[in-house]
Amino acid sequence: MKLTSRQLEIIKIVKENEPISGDSIAGTLGLSRATLRSDLAILTMTGLLDARPKVGYFYTGQTIEPLLYEKLYKKTVQDILLPPILIHQGTTVYDAVTNLFMYDVGSLYVKDDNDDLIGVLSRKDLLRAAISNPNTEKTPVAMIMSRMPNIITITKDRTILEAGSLLLQHSIDTLPVVEIDHPKKVIGKVTKSRIMAYFINAGNEIEKENY
Amino acid sequence: MKLTSRQLEIIKIVKENEPISGDSIAGTLGLSRATLRSDLAILTMTGLLDARPKVGYFYTGQTIEPLLYEKLYKKTVQDILLPPILIHQGTTVYDAVTNLFMYDVGSLYVKDDNDDLIGVLSRKDLLRAAISNPNTEKTPVAMIMSRMPNIITITKDRTILEAGSLLLQHSIDTLPVVEIDHPKKVIGKVTKSRIMAYFINAGNEIEKENY
């Protein structure tokens, strides 16, 4: 919702003089009470101002964000995707773990010779392999990874809400973002961590703008 | 923002007949155009209806949630905390990993004989130990865990925004929730995963209620 400059001025006057009567606001602005009626109605309806009979108007300090839902949830995967880390299927478990620490990521994607996505490795997959297998330097990741078609992917045109819902529904930490026309070509990733960071960063921005 | 029953009726009429002129809406309701003026002003200002000159009113399908920000971000840790998994400092790395899989969690908290929190073990800590140490069955977790005072904790009265900000700021996955008066007594945990699930579940609820 976009407030008019007059409405913003009313808010400013109320903030500085609360409680203040409608007549006093009108007087300050050099306008008639009738002229202000619809502005005051809108400002109280939306919860920005609070009106108490015989006392006057108060500023509630509430943020008006009729579009916050759309702003937060309807952004697309495109807006938040991270670069993926792809390793070859012949890579050993040991080297995969090294990559995980080197890039400080929570998951790795596995590709074949054509650069097609054929597997996903989570920290959990690697931990299970590392704790039970003394030969991590000889075991290829292809032996322990989750494989296509059991991998859930997403495209960049889907919303953040859809991406998050897929992650929850399938109890996974990462979603390879693939090309719309080539479901095995990875162009990015979306993770639980990334989505959480997105919501918290958005919250801190709103906080900074409004409080 | 709470809409009046007349405003809700106007929205219904517009939804079913869009585009529709202000006069037609007034006619349908048996009211004068003047009577409807402030309602229509409020509905267009808030973005619920869109008015196009010489065409009429449209329903935009937008959700009005002036308090969505407070609703989403100002809930407290109390509302979302999960039960923690606590293990004793003498537990071996191997057994810790077993616990991690058994409870399907991403982190474990380590306590001493007084049940005081003395350490945190992430999947990453355990993976690092498992890949480099062949003696996980003899190594106690106390040798590889993050230790107090390097552990960031939170109390249940803080907001979700504060919890998320701490997780991001310190690049950690989990926050032990401790008693306000006893900073070493763990009563729960908040994780990146939990916060992400909270936002996505909230989004899906709003979606279901409004669309």
Q: What is the pLDDT of residues A162-182, one digit of tens each?
A: 999 999 999 999 999 999 999
Mean pLDDT of chain A: 89
- Tell me what pLDDT residue B98 has: 96
CA dist A29 and A208 (Å) reads 29
Per residue in A6-23, pLDDT (tens digit) is: 888 898 899 888 889 999
* Cα Rg, chain A, nearest whole Å: 27
Give me the residues of chain B with pLDDT under 70, please.
Answer: 1-2, 61-67, 210-211
Nearest CA of chain B to the CA of A193: how many Å? 6
Give per-residue pLDDT as tens, A93-149: 999 999 999 999 999 999 999 999 999 999 999 999 999 887 889 999 999 999 988
Q: Residue A136's CB: how many other CB atoms inside 10 A?
A: 21
What is the pLDDT, as a whole number, of residue A124?
93
| Residues of A whose CB is below 8 A from B207 | 73, 161
- Of chain A, the percentage scoring pLDDT greater than 70 comes to 94
Task: Give the mean pLDDT of A51-62.
Answer: 78
pLDDT for A7? 87
The answer to whether residues A189 and A81 touch, using CB atoms and an 8 Å cutoff, is yes
SS3 label, residue A63: coil
pLDDT of residue A2: 59
Which chain B positions have a beta carbon within 8 Å of A167's beta carbon? 196, 200
User: What is the per-residue pLDDT for A89?
Assistant: 95
The Cα–Cα gap between B170 and B84 comes to: 20
Q: How far is CA A81 from CA A163, B174, B177, B201, in A?
A: 11, 23, 30, 20
Alpha carbons A43 and A10: distance in angstroms, whole number: 9
Q: Identify the residue whose tokens are 């897929």.
A: A166
Per-residue pLDDT at B99? 96
Give the pLDDT score at A211.
55
The mean pLDDT of A24-45, rounded to a whole number, is 88
Closest to A204 (Cα-Cα) out of B21, B160, B75: B160
Residue of A8, A127, A135 to mutate when probing chain B, most B C-beta within 10 A: A127
The per-residue pLDDT for B210 is 62
Residue of chain B whose Cα is closest to the Cα of A50 = B1
Rounded Cα distance, A74 and A86, in Å? 28
Q: Give dist(CA B129, CA B148) in Å, integer.
A: 19
Please indicate whether, in this complex, the C-beta atoms of B199 and A195 are within 8 angstroms of each other. Answer: yes
Q: ipTM of the predicted structure? A: 0.72
Distance in Å, alpha carbon of B206 to nearest chain A alpha carbon:
8
Q: Which chain B residues are Cβ-neighbours of A168 within 8 angstroms?
A: 197, 200-201
Under DSSP, the state recorded for A86 is E
10 Å CB burial of residue A162 (0-12, 13-18, 19+) is buried
Transcribe chain B into DSSP letters: -PPPHHHHHHHHHHHHH-SB-HHHHHHHHT--HHHHHHHHHHHHHTTSEEEETTTEEEE--PPP-TTHHHHHHSSBGGGT-B---EEETT-BHHHHHHHHHHTT-SEEEEE-TT--EEEEEEHHHHHHHHHH-TTTTT-BGGGTSEETTS---B-TTSBHHHHHHHHHHTT-SEEEEE-SS-TT-EEEEEEHHHHHHHHHHHHHHHHHHH-
Nearest to B108 by CA among B146, B155, B162, B62: B146
Q: Which amino acid is at A23?
A: D
Q: Kindly list the structural domains of chain A, giving each domain's residue range(s) and its CATH number in brackets, ordered by start.
A: 5-59 (1.10.10.10), 72-200 (3.10.580.10)
Nearest-neighbour CA in chain B from A165: distance (Å): 6
Indicate the angle between helix axes B192-210 and B160-169, nearest 10 degrees.
Answer: 140
Q: Which of B1, B70, B203 sits opposite A45 (nearest CB)?
A: B1
Residue contact B69–A134, C-beta within 8 A? no
Helical axes A93-103 vs A123-132, angle rounded to 10°: 140
Distance CA(A67)–CA(A206), nearest Å, equals: 13
Rounded to the nearest angstrom, the gap between the alpha carbon of residue A6 and the centroid of all alpha carbons in its chain is 34
Task: Give B-chain residues touching A101 at CB under 8 angstroms.
Answer: 124, 128
Contacts of B165 in chain A (CB under 8 A): 200, 204
